[in-house]
Amino acid sequence: MATPVAAAAPSVSAQTQANAIRALAMDAVQAANSGHPGAPMGMADMAVALWGRHLRHNPTNPAWANRDRFVLSNGHGSMLIYALLHLTGYKLPMQELKNFRQFGSKTAGHPEVGHTPGVETTTGPLGQGLTNAVGMALAEKLLASEFNRTIGDVHHAIVDHHTYVFMGDGCLMEGISHEAVALAGAWKLNKLIALYDDNGISIDGQVAPWFIDDTPKRFEACGWNVIRAVDGHDADAVSAAIAAAKNSADKPTLICCKTSIGKGSPNRANTAKAHGEPLGAEEIKLTREALDWPHAPFVIPKNVLAAWDAKAAGKAAEAAWNTQFAAYKTAFPELAKEFVRRMKGELPKQFNQVAVDAVLAAHTKAETVASRKASQIALETFTAALPELLGGSADLTGSNLTNTKSTPNLRFDLAGNVVKNEAGQGGRHINYGVREFGMAAIMNGVALHGGYIPYGGTFLTFSDYSRNAIRMAALMKQRVIHVFTHDSIGLGEDGPTHQSVEHAASLRLIPNLDVWRPADTAETAVAWAVALQNSNKPTALLLSRQNLPYAPKHGLGDISRGAYVLSEPADVGMKKKAKAVIIATGSEVQLALKAQELLAKEHKIGVRVVSMPSTTAFDRQDTAYKTDVLPKGLPRIAVEMGSTDGWWKYGVAAVVGLDTYGESAPAPVLFQHFGFTPENVADTVRAVLAK
């Protein structure tokens, strides 16, 4: 779709535009006495080519749905994007650049989405920006397939934009880049264009001794179109390469731009000294002379600002799209309404009823199934009602049970088009292959793009592979759902390599990550409902391999609060009040209930059983509710097949847990060996009361 982009004023050369970026980068880093000037100075000409001649965006509306996405994967070069945002007209005044890396500024050390207008994703952990970009490009392709329509000669392409990413040697050294690059090629993401800042320098110096990859051949082997040996300091050459890349019909494109880190600095260019420290006052003076940039720090001439200003072109581009969308809305009113809802991230109006029905159905049927199966049962309902749910698994679909009748496998034909079934529906379940980290970061990109709620599955023990991407989702406040099955020694014979011990406790440490470990079908349905409503945080669902009996309940309303009273002494025939509280999660809730019954029948001791499927949700409750569930004065005993450290904050007197690795054996043998029996739980309660 041809729409206006910003064009440089005739009186200002591309070199001068690039030098404006270089000056802002070195001045801001110098003022902060901290940062990375080399990458922005080296990529400045690439930025002129992309941002000045190709990128379709609207600085006055950074959230325009059909904007091109730009990702700075080598996020340490953040002054590049801050300079570009300021120069092109975003609400990022010069004072923010002067406050680079200072408390409260909009110019953090690394770009942060939601913090700085125009930043599409938080980058810094290398390789993940590239992988986020793959997710964004995938979302664009799937939305285009789902919403674009053709009537006669009229093609309503309301989803039609590119995803661009700048990346460096460090991004390509990270293992996640291999996962992302392979999937982008397999999915034929032809609107993904990556510009490689090939400067040959990292913190430790020249990368040649430790980075010998033939990068072009590597990308070609993964199904990419590769444009080699582009002079990264020739904006015309880079622009021509981008234009060629945009014509790719069935492949993503890598543009290899040979650059000099710290370009313009007489003594620091092409050295590691330019990478991660200020140039210094004397070197900045010399650089200004070398660049023929006589202006004072943070001063940009009016004609240079005018050349960079993209506000008018951005408004025109969005206005053209608005006209197109109005025609689409007339022709397809329901589709248009659905597109707007999806891009806003709003759930369907009927969602609350769908969730209630799912939980009530689980409660009524009271099935004995593994919580991974309970998850699939809940997903059958939710994926049918929410077309934005986009699932997947890292080669464990049959174990994670992430697929449903509404989510056929995602496939592309030889031309790169989404394969659709007889009903005209494309796939909604992704086979990521054995790529847990890549899956997690791609899901982040999908969520950031908008239009889908991604979820993906693997074994809980492999959450370690995904961990930094999970943390990034939490930091970015993105709705991404991780389905982690085989959550304990209960998986049995696969042994300690696959048996999670520390993982639940470890995930609970991540701020803004909701963690749920449900005990039965109703708790699992609630966990899914809460996860889908968590519009500003990711969720981890920890699910069992083994079957779990349904736990009878007095009500369902408090499950979503993370912990609730499941059973009182009266429920096992006792008239006495509780003398202790057993807190349990997931599969251990049944242990707690059996121990409660044992204590009542054999020892005349009454205990309350509290199911705590989500410590993170419970921790958000008010003091009154917490005290109601866990009364003061009653000793508490926690039961969970995992690390004990996280339980002491609840004032427990003892924990029946596991602080060692498991063993390879059938699950019942392991439960007996490690003390996860009703008798041991009951004995632990008695020992606590005896004290």
What residues are annotated to the active site? 436
Of residues 46, 17, 25, the one with CA closest to residue 232? 46
Of residues 92, 34, 32, the one with CA closest to residue 62? 92
Question: In angstroms, rounded to a whole number, what is the distance separating the alpha carbons of residues 88 and 51?
Answer: 8
DSSP 162-178: -EEEEEEHHHHHSHHHH
From the number of C-beta atoms within 10 Å of its C-beta (0-12, 13-18, 19+), residue 338 rates as middle
DSSP state of 1: -
- Residue 675 CB contacts under 8 Å (≥ 6 apart), including other chains: 656
What are residue 296's DSSP bridge partners?
none
| Residue ranges of E strands in 466-593 | 481-485, 514-516, 539-542, 547-548, 564-567, 580-584
Q: In Å, what is the CA distance from 238 to each residue of 45, 196, 291?
A: 8, 11, 20
- Residue 330 CB contacts under 8 Å (≥ 6 apart), including other chains: none
Question: In angstroms, rounded to a whole number, what is the distance separating the alpha carbons of residues 119 and 117?
Answer: 6
Of residues 274, 252, 277, the one with CA closest to residue 134? 252
Q: Would you state the structure tokens that stand for residue 391, as one six-digit string?
A: 């699932």
Other CB atoms closer than 10 Å to residue 505's CB: what's the count?
19
Other CB atoms closer than 10 Å to residue 500's CB: what's the count?
29
Q: Would you state the structure tokens that stand for residue 556, as one six-digit string?
A: 């369902």
What are residue 515's DSSP bridge partners?
540
Half-sphere exposure of 156 (CA within 13 A, CB side): 22
From the CA atom positions of the chain, what is the Rg in Å?
Answer: 28
Q: Would you state the structure tokens that stand for residue 404, as one six-digit string?
A: 């449903």
CB of 522 within 8 A of CB of 359? Answer: yes
Question: In angstroms, rounded to a whole number, what is the distance separating the alpha carbons of residues 105 and 103?
Answer: 6
- Residue 526 CB contacts under 8 Å (≥ 6 apart), including other chains: 359, 518, 556, 559, 560, 613
Question: In angstroms, rounded to a whole number, what is the distance separating the alpha carbons of residues 307 and 3?
Answer: 18
- Kindly report the backbone phi and psi dihedral angles of residue 87, in degrees, each rounded to the nearest multiple of 5, phi listed first: -65, -35
Torsion angle of the four alpha carbons 645, 648, 654, 658, in this order, in degrees rounded to the nearest 10: -20
Report the run of H or E that residue 245 belongs to, with start and end: helix 235-246
Question: In angstroms, rounded to a whole number, what is the distance separating the alpha carbons of residues 395 and 144?
Answer: 26
CB of 35 within 8 A of CB of 28? Answer: yes
CB of 7 within 8 A of CB of 52? Answer: yes
CB of 605 within 8 A of CB of 686? Answer: yes
- Residue 13 CB contacts under 8 Å (≥ 6 apart), including other chains: none
Of residues 178, 176, 174, 179, the one with CA closest to residue 211? 174
CB of 444 within 8 A of CB of 481? Answer: no
